[in-house]
């Protein structure tokens, strides 16, 4: 029912200052037609301020917001034609589900017959047709979230903005509605901008993620690119979990560069330029990219003997904490199925990882 009217959104050098606090500081990004972009960051990172500026509720201090080539920075919210799902949904408690969904059509003076048909279509889209005559108080959290979605989509907006729409739900429901949201995005083919502090949500749903910290855009890209090649220690730490190896560059190698960590010498694949011998280097190494064996692995590139400190079993896998001399504690995550390392504290184990498993990251300013 909803057409393929997708638009591009440009945010250019957007800043919002409150006195001397820079809530948003010179942020620029572009959301391509029909993309699902997530603004991800801890609380106070400025993600909601950016969303509210796009929606028109906050007047930016500087910068511009453009839909396709049209500047909308100073338009009032009601003239932007964006659909929005608010945190906590903000359903009108005095109106029925049908009237809530019909609200955007009513204020646009859409003729009654057409409005009724479109409300019905929107409710079909979120599988809520049977509850049209209820009031929000009689709905569960998940149902309310769907009403909010239907209300934000019913008037065929140019863009859909979502402010932490799943944060009020319990974990299982959150995952389920996440799937639904993603499939909905594919079906309506619109441009979505999503705000969350939950990195799992961001990774699982988005085409592109923009990570924010202290009002600044730290890194953006496809979820897998962000996870596998974080540029800074903050990004590596915020997205999933990461070990950090602090070392010193040793010298170039035909397959990359070697570096020293305490008494150990490791190989890192990738570009050798800009890394001079003697220069400090920090590498992010994901726990699941480390192979754990009971005996020394033959032919492995980066090998490290360590002592098993403790472990935590979570069904499909197991988190293992090991201590390596000269490096400190490292986290390793392995599948629990057919794990060939006996789990007992104090036991000697071997760690190994490929040359391209780790990523050099910059220290945060």
Partner 1 sequence: MTTSVALAARAHSGLPVRAFYWLLVVPALAAMLAFYFFPLARVLWISVTEPRPGLDNYALLLTSASVHRMLLVTARLCVITTIVTLLLGYVVAYAMAHARGRQLRWLTFFVLLPLWVSVLVRAFAWVTLLRGNGLVNQSLLALGIIGEPLALVRNELGVAVGMIHYMIPFAVLPLYANMQGIDLRLVAAARGLGASPRQAFLRVFLPLSLPGLVGAGVLVFIFSLGFYVTPAILGGGRVFMIAEYIGVQILTVLRWGLGAMLATTLLAGVLLLMAALGRLVNMKKLFGAG
Contact residues toward partner 1 (CB under 8 A) are: 55-57, 76-78, 81-84, 86, 88, 90, 92-94, 103-104, 106-108, 151-152, 155
Rg (CA), the chain: 25
Q: Looking at beta carbons only, is 153 or 349 nearer to partner 1?
A: 153
Tell me the CA distances in angstroms from 13 to 56, 121, 235, one per residue in order: 16, 39, 21
Q: Looking at beta carbons only, is 79 or 172 nearer to partner 1?
A: 79
Q: Are strands 208-213 and 192-196 parallel, antiparallel or unpaired?
A: unpaired
Beginning with the edge strand found earlier in the chain, give each strand of the sheet holding 317-324 in spatial order: 291-293, 348-353, 302-313, 317-324, 328-335
Q: Looking at beta carbons only, is 78 or 363 nearer to partner 1?
A: 78
Nearest 5°: phi and psi at 317? -150, -175
Q: How far is the CB of 156 from partner 1 (least distance, A)?
A: 11
Q: How far is the CB of 304 from partner 1 (least distance, A)?
A: 53
Q: What distance, in Å, lies between the first and last C-alpha atoms of the chain?
A: 48
Q: How far is the CB of 56 from partner 1 (least distance, A)?
A: 8
List the structure tokens of 192: 């979505």
DSSP-assigned letter for residue 131: G
Q: How far is the CB of 155 from partner 1 (least distance, A)?
A: 7
Q: Looking at beta carbons only, is 78 or 296 nearer to partner 1?
A: 78
Q: How far is the CB of 57 from partner 1 (least distance, A)?
A: 6
How far apart CA 313 and CA 138 sit, in angstroms, is 40
Q: How far is the CB of 79 from partner 1 (least distance, A)?
A: 8
Q: Looking at beta carbons only, is 100 or 302 nearer to partner 1?
A: 100
What are the DSSP calls for 167-236, one per residue?
Answer: TTS-HHHHHHHHHHHHHHHHHH---EEEEES-HHHHHHH-SEEEEEETTEEEEEE-HHHHHHS-SBHHHH
Q: How far is the CB of 83 from partner 1 (least distance, A)?
A: 8
Could you tell me if 197 and 42 are in contact, meaning their C-beta atoms sit under 8 angstroms apart?
yes
Tell me the CA distances in angstroms from 362 to 4, 39, 99, 282, one per residue in order: 41, 21, 52, 7
Q: Looking at beta carbons only, is 84 or 236 nearer to partner 1?
A: 84
Q: Looking at beta carbons only, is 156 or 293 nearer to partner 1?
A: 156
């Amino acid at each position: 029912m909803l057409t393929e009217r997708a638009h591009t959104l440009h945010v250019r050098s957007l800043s919002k200052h409150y006195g001397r606090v820079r809530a948003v500081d010179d942020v620029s990004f572009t959301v391509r037609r029909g993309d699902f972009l997530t603004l991800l960051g801890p609380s106070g990172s400025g993600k909601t301020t950016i969303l509210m500026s796009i929606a028109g509720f906050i007047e930016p201090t500087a910068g511009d917001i453009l839909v396709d080539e049209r500047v909308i920075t100073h338009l009032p919210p009601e003239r932007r034609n964006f659909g929005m799902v608010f945190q906590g949904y903000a359903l009108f408690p005095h109106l029925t589900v049908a009237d809530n969904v019909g609200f955007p059509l009513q204020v646009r003076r859409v003729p009654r017959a057409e409005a009724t048909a479109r409300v019905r279509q929107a409710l079909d889209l979120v599988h809520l047709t049977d509850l049209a005559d209820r009031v929000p108080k009689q709905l569960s959290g998940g149902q309310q979230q769907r009403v909010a979605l239907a209300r934000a989509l019913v008037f065929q907006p140019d863009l859909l903005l979502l402010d932490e729409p799943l944060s009020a739900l319990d974990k299982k429901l959150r995952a389920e509605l996440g799937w639904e949201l993603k499939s909905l995005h594919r079906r309506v083919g619109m441009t979505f901008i999503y705000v969350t502090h939950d990195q799992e949500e961001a990774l699982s749903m988005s085409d592109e993620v923009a990570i924010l910290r202290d009002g600044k855009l730290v890194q953006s890209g496809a979820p897998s690119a962000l996870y596998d090649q974080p540029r800074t220690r903050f990004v590596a730490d915020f997205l999933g979990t990461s070990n950090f190896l602090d070392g010193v560059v040793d010298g170039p190698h035909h397959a990359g560069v070697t570096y020293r960590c305490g008494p150990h010498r490791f190989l890192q694949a990738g570009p050798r330029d800009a890394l001079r011998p003697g220069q400090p280097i920090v590498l992010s190494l994901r726990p699941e990219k480390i192979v754990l064996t009971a005996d020394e692995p033959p032919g492995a590139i980066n090998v490290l003997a360590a002592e098993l400190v403790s472990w935590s079993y979570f069904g499909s896998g197991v988190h293992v904490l090991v201590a390596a001399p000269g490096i400190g504690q490292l986290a390793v995550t392995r599948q629990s199925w057919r794990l060939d390392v006996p789990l007992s504290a104090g036991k000697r184990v071997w760690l190994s990882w490929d040359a391209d498993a780790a990523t050099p990251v910059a220290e945060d300013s």
